[in-house]
Amino acid sequence: MSDDCGIFQHGKFRLADRNHGYCTDDNCRALSLIALQSGWVEESATRDRLAYTYAAFVNHAWTGERFRNFMDYGRHWLDDGGSDDCCARTLESLIDTVRSNLPDDLRLWAKELAQRVIPQSENWTSQRSRAILIRVLSRALGHVGDEADIRTRIFELSRLLRNGLSDHSDGGHAWFEPRLSYDNARLPEGLILAGETLRDQSLIDEGAEALSWLMAQQTCTEGGHFRPVPTSRFDQGGQTVALFDQQSLEVQATLNACLTAWRVTQDTRWKDEAFRAFAWFHGENDHGLSLITADGGCFDGLTPEGCNQNQGAESLLAYHLSWTAMMANL
């Protein structure tokens, strides 16, 4: 799925679909994957070549204010700046690189760029970008930036997240927004991580409560298996309007949040929930079908008919990042 420019965004079955080019969202995830596994995977020319390729893509995406996201196959940028969420995820890949066992010069590059990016993050205002930033900044402590400044920023971000939860929670709807959409579990995870960093138990409790509500929405009561929020979204009242399409990205976000909740609270319920989410990849889902291929690929989610046979970068990376998170925490 990768060439000397970066990882391709979409796949047509197992083929890289050049019609859709590349995106920073996927290249930063690919960089994070290699960085997170660098302590386990033996150093090799292939590993480092891929790391430098993805890092070069991320470096080229930076405008001085934010990261551009979409590039066509001819290597022309198609936007002037990606979403707030894309920018936050890309900053996360820089912190992952700084903390990695990748070559020294790559870690120095990541630290230098992260120091320039962090001040610009104040302009990112989506709820998910705020939650991801809490995750990023809590991991940056001791590695990048001034500790007091970072803690102050985490406090402010947690206040904004908490306000969203307070504003939109109503009766049986214990959530940060009027409806669920994508990458949902990042929001309660942000509160839990902020509570851990700031030593504020109330933030941890509120985040865990919101995550519990989310897990109740994502559990099939008939079979007890995990059912991620589909891309068809949820309606205003929080009831599902469809079961599909179910995406790997949602599973990864949920798994990460449950592992965080387990580590912070030591409540083994969250370990069980992480296992339940991970099992979705391997057939404990609405179709009883494994999304993982014999060579480690991952299909692009579940449709009403079964597995989407395409294998795009987002799904491939979501699976391998999920596996990496499980190995790092268990």
Q: What is the structure's pLDDT at 221?
A: 80
Q: Phi, psi (5° rounding) for residue 160?
A: -70, -40
Q: What is the structure's pLDDT at 236?
A: 44
Helix axes 248-265, 201-217, angle to 10 degrees: 140
Q: What is the structure's pLDDT at 238?
A: 47
Amino acid, res. 140:
A
For 42-70, how does the pLDDT look when each residue is reduced to its tens digit (9 = 90+)?
889 999 999 999 999 999 999 999 999 99
* 8 A C-beta contact, residue 23 and residue 69: yes
Amino acid, res. 64:
G
Q: What is the structure's pLDDT at 231?
A: 82
Q: What is the DSSP string of 151-175?
A: HHHHHHHHHHHHHHHHHH-BTTB-S
Antiparallel, parallel or unpaired: β 22-23 and 70-71: antiparallel
- Quote the tokens at residue 152: 């102050």
- Mean pLDDT, 10 residues at a time, the chain of 330 residues: 98 96 98 96 92 98 98 98 97 98 98 98 97 98 96 98 95 92 96 98 98 94 91 54 87 98 98 98 97 97 96 98 95
